Amino acid sequence: MTLPVDGPPTRRPSARLTAVDTGDATGGPSREELDRQVRGHYGNWRDQPKGLACAVIAAFCLLTTLALGVVVLLVVLAAGR
Protein backbone atom coordinates (compact mmCIF):
# COMPACT_ATOMS: atom_id res chain seq x y z
CA MET A 1 0.00 0.00 0.00
CA THR A 2 1.36 3.40 -0.94
CA LEU A 3 0.42 6.72 0.59
CA PRO A 4 0.04 9.52 -1.94
CA VAL A 5 0.52 12.99 -0.58
CA ASP A 6 -2.71 14.44 -1.96
CA GLY A 7 -5.26 11.67 -1.49
CA PRO A 8 -6.32 8.44 0.20
CA PRO A 9 -4.06 5.41 0.26
CA THR A 10 -4.00 3.40 -2.95
CA ARG A 11 -3.04 -0.18 -3.67
CA ARG A 12 -0.85 -1.37 -6.45
CA PRO A 13 -2.86 -3.42 -8.95
CA SER A 14 -2.45 -7.16 -8.67
CA ALA A 15 -0.55 -9.09 -11.31
CA ARG A 16 -3.80 -10.58 -12.58
CA LEU A 17 -5.30 -7.13 -13.16
CA THR A 18 -2.23 -5.74 -14.86
CA ALA A 19 -2.04 -8.76 -17.18
CA VAL A 20 -5.52 -8.07 -18.60
CA ASP A 21 -5.47 -5.39 -21.24
CA THR A 22 -8.49 -3.38 -22.32
CA GLY A 23 -7.76 -3.48 -26.03
CA ASP A 24 -6.20 -0.08 -26.43
CA ALA A 25 -3.35 0.77 -28.79
CA THR A 26 -1.02 -1.79 -27.18
CA GLY A 27 -2.67 -4.60 -29.15
CA GLY A 28 -4.31 -6.44 -26.25
CA PRO A 29 -7.62 -8.28 -26.43
CA SER A 30 -10.70 -6.25 -27.26
CA ARG A 31 -13.64 -5.80 -24.95
CA GLU A 32 -15.65 -8.26 -27.06
CA GLU A 33 -12.93 -10.89 -26.73
CA LEU A 34 -12.79 -10.45 -22.96
CA ASP A 35 -16.59 -10.69 -22.76
CA ARG A 36 -16.51 -13.90 -24.83
CA GLN A 37 -13.90 -15.41 -22.52
CA VAL A 38 -15.91 -14.54 -19.42
CA ARG A 39 -19.13 -15.93 -20.93
CA GLY A 40 -17.28 -19.09 -21.94
CA HIS A 41 -16.03 -19.57 -18.38
CA TYR A 42 -19.05 -18.51 -16.32
CA GLY A 43 -21.97 -18.89 -18.75
CA ASN A 44 -24.85 -16.54 -18.24
CA TRP A 45 -27.93 -16.28 -16.08
CA ARG A 46 -29.89 -18.65 -18.34
CA ASP A 47 -27.42 -21.45 -17.60
CA GLN A 48 -28.06 -21.41 -13.87
CA PRO A 49 -30.01 -24.32 -12.33
CA LYS A 50 -33.04 -22.37 -11.14
CA GLY A 51 -35.72 -25.03 -11.78
CA LEU A 52 -34.67 -27.32 -8.96
CA ALA A 53 -34.23 -24.44 -6.54
CA CYS A 54 -37.74 -23.17 -7.32
CA ALA A 55 -39.16 -26.66 -6.79
CA VAL A 56 -37.44 -27.00 -3.43
CA ILE A 57 -38.66 -23.59 -2.27
CA ALA A 58 -42.21 -24.32 -3.46
CA ALA A 59 -42.22 -27.67 -1.64
CA PHE A 60 -40.96 -25.99 1.54
CA CYS A 61 -43.69 -23.35 1.36
CA LEU A 62 -46.38 -25.95 0.70
CA LEU A 63 -45.28 -28.23 3.53
CA THR A 64 -44.89 -25.32 5.95
CA THR A 65 -48.39 -24.06 5.14
CA LEU A 66 -49.81 -27.57 5.52
CA ALA A 67 -48.09 -28.01 8.89
CA LEU A 68 -49.40 -24.64 10.09
CA GLY A 69 -52.92 -25.63 9.04
CA VAL A 70 -52.68 -28.90 10.96
CA VAL A 71 -51.47 -27.09 14.08
CA VAL A 72 -54.30 -24.56 13.86
CA LEU A 73 -56.83 -27.38 13.40
CA LEU A 74 -55.45 -29.24 16.42
CA VAL A 75 -55.59 -26.09 18.57
CA VAL A 76 -59.20 -25.43 17.53
CA LEU A 77 -60.20 -29.03 18.23
CA ALA A 78 -58.41 -28.99 21.59
CA ALA A 79 -60.13 -25.72 22.58
CA GLY A 80 -63.55 -27.18 21.74
CA ARG A 81 -63.30 -30.02 24.25
Digit-coded pLDDT (tens) for 17-60 = 555 545 556 678 888 888 888 777 776 666 666 788 889 999 99
> Who has greater pLDDT, 26 or 2?
26
Segments forming the whole domain that contains residue 12: 1-47
Q: How confident is the model at residue 4 (pLDDT cuts 50, 70, 90)?
A: low
Assess contact for 28 and 22: CB atoms under 8 A.
yes
CA distances from 21 to 38, 42, 47, 81 (A): 14, 20, 27, 78
The pLDDT of residue 81 is 83
pTM of the model: 0.40
- Both 55 and 41 in a single domain? no
Phi then psi for residue 67, to 5 deg, are -65, -40
- Both 43 and 59 in a single domain? no
The domain total for the chain is: 2
Q: Please enumerate in sequence order all residues whose Cβ is within 8 A of that of 55, keeping only pairs 6 or more positions apart, or say none.
A: none
- Both 43 and 54 in a single domain? no
- Both 55 and 24 in a single domain? no
